[in-house]
A and B are shown apart, each in its own frame.
Chain A
Amino acid sequence: MQKKTIIIDPVTRIEGHAKITIDIDESGKVEDAKIHVTQYRGFEKFCEGRPYTEMPALTARTCGICPVSHVVSATKAIDEILGVTPPKAGVNIRKIVNLAQMLQSHTLNFYHLSSPDFIYGFDAPKEDRNIFKMMQTHPQMARDGINLRAFGQKIIEDLAGKRIHPTGIIPGGASHKIEESTKEAILEQVPDMLKIAQSALEFFRENLHKFQEEIDYLGAFPSLFMAISNDEGTLEHYNGKLCFMDSEGNILKDKIEPRDYKEFIGEAVEDFSYLKSPYYKPMGYPQGMYRVGALARVNIAKTCGTPLADKELIKFKALNGGKPVLNTFYYHYARLIEMIYAIEKIEELLKCDETMSDNVRSTSTVSYERGVGCSEAPRGTLFHEYHVTKDGIITGVNLIIATGNNNLAMNAGVKQVAQRFVDPKNITDGALNRVEAVIRCFDPCLSCSTHALGIVSSKVEVRDHNKKIIKVFERS
């Protein structure tokens, strides 16, 4: 048999554009598989020469889904450049907005992008495996998703000015205090939102038994995990030090100051993708593959620090006897726990007296030539590093985007699932869906990581060992 390559293009139900190639060897078995991120943006370059004050607004444009994360990391980087410590109220407002964004982003992934697979199964006809069918058969679930997202988006709008590309998170803190009426309106909705998030997790758990093969083969492998962690060991998304854990649960290195990230994270470039491949430097490339995002965070956290999420975390950690959970499929599980946590934490922060203080911002002028801002975005750890002149003009930018951190792991996942499910002699839609689904587990935001001009095709191509196309499958 000739060597062949199968290409899945585009990968569907994710944010951004990517294709997958599957190489078939001469004996007819899957030899390798890769995800190619076909977008390109270039934010790091065109930010050069701009005043530092523009960076939160500029970098927020990286994404329409997680702009809050970029604003938070950008303002934290500028805090360092200014040498300011934001007041507690400013920090708490940032935390609430960041959590609200995580909630709406995880909600979108679960209800609108991934749940068709959970409801109808990976082998269901593709005509049924979509949100339209879900609205017919599970209308309450669809309404729940809408309500939960609206809750998160409204918090972002009320506290930070706009749902997309918010302007209220600024260097030194936040632009305005939280009004008492806003606080009450949010708190009033918390019980209903918690019920929705809990029922989503219950639904997922009740259906897990149907997906044992996906749990076992959709990216189930040892890897390192990275997240920011705090002194208490509770789930953390805003402030903390970097922590690397191995697949046995051993801490390889923790208490790393985010500004020292380059000592521990290398960025490799491969010619098949515009997405860089970060790795844990002490172990080298590609052995230093690590995962970030919800799965990494709940593996690294000892507790969530909120009651309902903690109950769920105990059950989650029991999945692998207290050791890190290695199955990529469980990213969905981890996100659902984080949704519950986010609602509880928003309530806790709003009820904190200091959050309602008038003192929401500290001010200063340029004091340092370099600043690094780091936070946990929905998809993982996000780094913004800026260099400025003494007049505050940007001379250098390095961004490590959350999705990028998972690049090596996404490729490992695609290869594993292709080798398990793709039969080159009989390529089924269910098999191709699973290859996409492993990517969807990571909920990648490729628009954040790079960017394309947006023309997408919808086909699977089979190529021989000379990369000549010999067969094409239409995908959509």
Chain B
Amino acid sequence: MRVIIGYGNELRGEDAFGVDAIKKLQKLGLENTKLISLHQLTPEVVLQLLDANEIIFIDASYDEKNHYALACSLTEQDNLNLSHHISPKTIIYMLKSLYDKKSKFFIYSMLSCSFDKIKDNKRYKNSIDAVVKQLAQKSD
């Protein structure tokens, strides 16, 4: 099964990218795909991923230069200094080390520097459409 997790805060402008992408994906009725919408990644999320052979994370990532570009990065700022939420890298590590699950995973990040409001609605929606299109094709 494929699991797609979109996460972010709908009150923080373009941080809602992952959540908005999931809303759009929900309308497509993708087969063999579980969709999860979250505020943030927390440790217990791994329990919803135990049956996944492919995991896709969708979020927004801070970048001042390449606004609305789609990227994939596993770089973490403070991977040892855990707070109350965790990163995709930690989730994948948890699955592997605690549950012996070695799933394929992908990260779709929209680069943004606007976490107060959606700066350019058209470009924001285009970015969502681009991710949704790719994931829908992947499903086919």
Contacts and interface: CB of A to CB of B under 8 A. Distances in A.
B34 to A, nearest CB: 16
Contact of A139 (B39, B82, B97): B97
Contact of A127 (B47, B80, B83, B97): B80
Interface residues of B, number: 23
A149 B43 CA distance: 8
Given A136-B97, A142-B94, A476 B44 contact: no
Interface string B54-70: 00000000000000000
A456 to B, nearest CB: 7
A146 B78 contact: no
Interface residues of A, number: 35
A131 B97 contact: no
A41 interface: no
B40 interface: yes
Contacts of B99: 143
Contact of B85 (A10, A64, A146, A165): A64
B46 interface: yes
B96 to A, nearest CB: 9
A132 B78 contact: no
B98 A146 contact: yes
A81 interface: no
Interface stretch (A12-20, A222-230, A240-248, A282-290): A12-20
Contacts of A153: 42, 44
B93 interface: yes
Contact of B80 (A130, A145, A164, A165): A130
Contacts of B94: 135, 142, 146
A65 interface: yes
A14 B99 CA distance: 26
Contacts, number: 76
Nearest to B83: A15
Contacts of A10: 81
B11 interface: yes
B46 A108 contact: no
A113 interface: yes
Nearest to B78: A476
Interface string A142-180: 110111011001000000000111000000000000000
B7 to A, nearest CB: 11
Interface in B78-131: 78-85, 90, 93-94, 97-99
Contact of A14 (B47, B80, B83): B83
25 contacts: A12-B78, A13-B81, A13-B82, A14-B83, A108-B42, A108-B43, A108-B84, A113-B82, A127-B80, A131-B82, A132-B90, A132-B93, A135-B93, A135-B97, A143-B99, A146-B47, A146-B94, A146-B98, A147-B44, A149-B43, A149-B44, A150-B47, A153-B42, A458-B81, A476-B80
Which 10 A-B pairs have CB atoms at the shortest separation, nearest pair first?
A: A150-B44, A12-B81, A164-B39, A130-B80, A135-B97, A149-B44, A15-B84, A65-B84, A146-B43, A139-B98
Interface of A: 10, 12-16, 61, 64-65, 108, 112-113, 126-127, 129-132, 135-136, 139, 142-143, 145-147, 149-150, 153, 163-165, 456, 458, 476
Interface of B: 11, 39-40, 42-44, 46-47, 77-85, 90, 93-94, 97-99
Given A113-B84, A150-B44, 9 more contacts: A126-B80, A130-B80, A146-B47, A147-B47, A153-B42, A153-B44, A163-B39, A164-B39, A165-B39
